[in-house]
Amino acid sequence: MRVAMDTAHLDWPFFDAGSRAFARDVGGWAEAHLADGAHPTSRDAVDARCRALVAMLGESGLLRHAVAGTAHGGAAERIDTRNLCLARETLAFHDGLADFAFAMQGLGSGALSLAGSEAQKARWLPEVAAGRALAAFCLSEPEAGSDVAAMACRARHDGAGWVLDGEKTWISNGGIADLHVVFARTGEGEPGRPSSGISAFAVPADAPGFAVAERIDVMAPHPLARLRFDGCRLGPEALIGAEGEGFKIAMRTLDVFRTSVAAAALGFGRRALHEGLARATSRTMFGQALADFQLTQAALATMATETDAAALLVYRAAWARDQGRTVTREAAMAKLAATEGAQRTIDRALQMWGGAGVVSGNTVERLYRDIRALRIYEGATEVQQLIIGRDLVKGFGR
Ligand SMILES: Cc1cc2nc3c(=O)[nH]c(=O)nc-3n(C[C@H](O)[C@H](O)[C@H](O)COP(=O)(O)OP(=O)(O)OC[C@H]3O[C@@H](n4cnc5c(N)ncnc54)[C@H](O)[C@@H]3O)c2cc1C
């Protein structure tokens, strides 16, 4: 059944006429093209659905909002964070895999949008924006997740080019991506700053020495893999930005996309609120509707309040970034509040559905699985808490 998303928040002052028009477009597209968001049941079906969604999002023009530079297929010179968030909120409301497909095109090519050479942008961004090339962001390793600087994957000079050796894991779009932006150690870095020895590379899927070592199946199915680089040879054109700038490029990319993870969580939470209301108002028990009980109204009030709080934090961070401000703290607050809040809202909605809530294929059951990984990737909740806490202490003069 097609469900329209509540868009009352579009009246807020964070938005201008352009963002409101964009929100209407993406909402109309999602209602027309995304059915019930059911999870595909096999790996092949997940891969096929993901490729199809990327192609559809490319054809619709929506993916242009995930890359920067009008000369290279982008909708604007700079990624508009509010549009990015509106797209992710809306897609997540309808279909978690559609949100994933959209987000990965942006995250996977983000290093090129932000720091790529003209030649790198010209080669990849138009293909990514059109949905013809799939992109992956390759930062995490088996022994370097939250602790990014513990990275062991290495790139060494080889004549004019590079040779890459090591592993990356938990790589979204791994197994189906055409472009991999890979972060690797090219030196030890300055004393006390090991992250300054990291560089970024654009690695095509057909690079010699590149292999998909293992596909990983997860609770909310999407393409995910461990990747291996065994003497993987790259030309000089593979280096993104300057040698040693990779960590900064990764953090700049995450500064843009972290707020959008919060927006996706907001979309999941908003859908759960809708599902909770639909159930509470239609289920009768003890001679009245479930929604007539004060306990239910208290739960709904908490769900709506957490959803609005998340939306305020998401669009504050997005608006501030679009004003050119540094939003490290605001983005961390948005991700922390939106992902944790959506998890609680989804759990409450599922509870209202009773036994039906845990039946495979029920929307709240799907949301329950869709939300979980968002509290871990692009910086786990505890990492966001540390970012906020450190910033507060620093701002207090220490
Ligand atoms: C579905 C999914 C998709 C992903 N996609 C990508 C991708 O496309 N590209 C990519 O590079 N990576 C990706 N990741 C990896 C993700 O970013 C890492 O899983 C994440 O950074 C955590 O790293 P880890 O799994 O090694 O956990 P660890 O670093 O071992 O952390 C485990 C837990 O420890 C806690 N913790 C962490 N730091 C602290 C602290 N300082 N104090 C107290 N507790 C702490 C947190 O609760 C954390 O969940 C993905 C992960 C998942 C689950």
- Using a 6 Å CB cutoff, which residues line ligand 1? 137-140, 145-146, 170-172, 218, 224, 373, 376-378, 380, 382-383, 386
- Residue by residue, pLDDT tens for the chain (398 residues) are 678 999 999 999 999 999 999 999 999 999 999 977 788 889 999 999 999 999 999 999 999 999 999 999 999 999 999 999 999 999 999 999 999 999 999 999 999 999 999 999 999 999 999 999 999 999 999 999 999 989 999 999 999 999 999 999 999 999 999 999 999 999 987 877 778 899 999 999 999 999 999 999 999 999 999 999 999 999 999 999 999 999 999 999 998 999 999 999 999 999 999 999 999 999 999 999 999 999 999 999 999 999 999 999 999 999 999 999 999 999 999 999 999 999 999 999 999 999 999 999 999 999 999 999 999 999 999 999 999 999 999 999 87
Spatial CA neighbour of 311 closest among 12, 4, 99, 44: 12
Of 140, 339, 369, 384, the residue with max ligand 1 atoms within 8 A of its CB, to mutate for a pocket test, comes to: 140
Q: Which atom of ligand 1 is nearest to the CA of 142?
A: 26
Q: Give the bridge partners for 342, in sequence order.
A: none
Lookup result for tokens 């609770």: 219
- Atom 37 of ligand 1, residue of closest alpha carbon: 146
Q: Which atom of ligand 1 is nearest to the CA of 136?
A: 8
How many whole angstroms from 139 Cα to the centroid of ligand 1? 11
The answer to whether 378 is a known catalytic residue is yes
Tokens 């279909």, located at residue: 95
User: Catalytic residue among 141, 167, 275, 378, which?
Assistant: 378
Query: Which tens digits make up the pLDDT trace of 88-140?
Result: 999 999 999 999 999 999 999 999 999 999 999 999 999 999 999 999 999 99
The residue whose CA has the least distance to atom 35 of ligand 1 is 382
The closest-lying atom of ligand 1 relative to the alpha carbon of residue 218 is: 1
